[in-house]
Every structure is written in C-alpha cells, then in structure tokens.
C-alpha cells in the first residue's frame, strides 16, 4: 500500500562538459503541501551525471518506503534510460546495444536500486519553458554549481 504521494522535479547543470556541475531538486509532498529544496555540486563532472545525481538525491531524501512518486526531469537521457534502456542494459551485463560499457554505470545502478522502494512514474518536461518547479530546480542546480 502506498503511503503518500510526492512529486519531484530534478535538474542538473554543468559549466563545460566535463566541468564544474550542480544538481537541484524540488520535492512537493501532496499530503501536506510542503515543499523541500535540495542541491549539491561536483568539481569535475558532466551534465548527464548531474541529471542522474539529481534524481538519485531526490529519491534518497525520501525516508518513507512505498511512496507514490512522480518525477519530472528535463533530461531525455534520464527519462529514457530508466524507462526504456535500463532493463536491456542489465540483461546485457551493463552493455549498450553496441556492446560498449554503459556510461555512468554506477549512477544507473544506484538509481535503479532506489526505484525499487517506490511506485514511480517518470515524466519529461521541456527545460527553460516556464514550468514553475523545473525553473526552481534549474536555479538550485546553477547556484550549487557556481558556489
């Protein structure tokens, strides 16, 4: 039985690719209307790593198990990776269709493990298109990257 509904907005930012990066997360708790904001940075990273890190940190921040979660990301890489590609990667020993090692494998494994505790629906939102919470997540990521 699902305990509560949580909506998560995630974003990653990178200056240079690789370069310094940041991630930002907005959590909205439907039962209370409470909003929570978290962010972090890395000195040398890539945009895709920061997008993954945002999703991971958002899920890690949820203490209850069996939550009903909607995750909004402006990263097709994250959305398609978790919805379309990850099961084949696991079957193929974490190799792509081209028989190459999956990029960011450790982060994908961590994200995959975190998704097992909840019922999650993933959504893509166009970045920088005026979506209120996505804009906040972007601002958090950029601020973390620059500080």
Half-sphere exposure (CA, 13 Å, Cβ side) for 8? 29
Tens of pLDDT, residue by residue over 14-35, are 999 899 999 999 999 998 999 9
Which tokens sit at 25?
A: 């997360």
4: confidence class by pLDDT, cuts 50, 70, 90: confident
Q: Average model confidence (pLDDT) for the chain?
A: 95
Tens of pLDDT, residue by residue over 88-127, are 999 999 999 899 999 999 999 999 999 998 999 999 999 8
Q: Could you list the active site residues?
A: 11-12, 51, 74, 128, 138
């Amino acid at each position: 039985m699902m305990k509560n509904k949580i909506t998560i907005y995630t974003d990653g930012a990178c200056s240079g690719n690789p370069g310094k990066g940041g991630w930002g997360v907005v959590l909205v708790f439907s039962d209370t209307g409470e909003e929570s904001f978290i962010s972090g940075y890395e000195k040398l990273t890539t945009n895709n790593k920061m997008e993954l890190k945002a999703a991971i940190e958002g899920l890690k921040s949820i203490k209850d198990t069996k939550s009903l979660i909607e995750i909004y990301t402006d990263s097709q890489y994250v959305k398609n990776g978790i919805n379309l590609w990850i099961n084949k990667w696991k079957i193929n020993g974490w190799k792509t269709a081209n028989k190459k090692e999956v990029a960011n494998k450790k982060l994908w494994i961590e994200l995959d493990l975190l998704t097992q505790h909840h019922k999650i629906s993933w959504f893509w939102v166009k970045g920088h298109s005026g979506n209120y919470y996505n804009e906040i997540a972007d601002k958090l990521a950029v601020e973390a990257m620059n500080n």
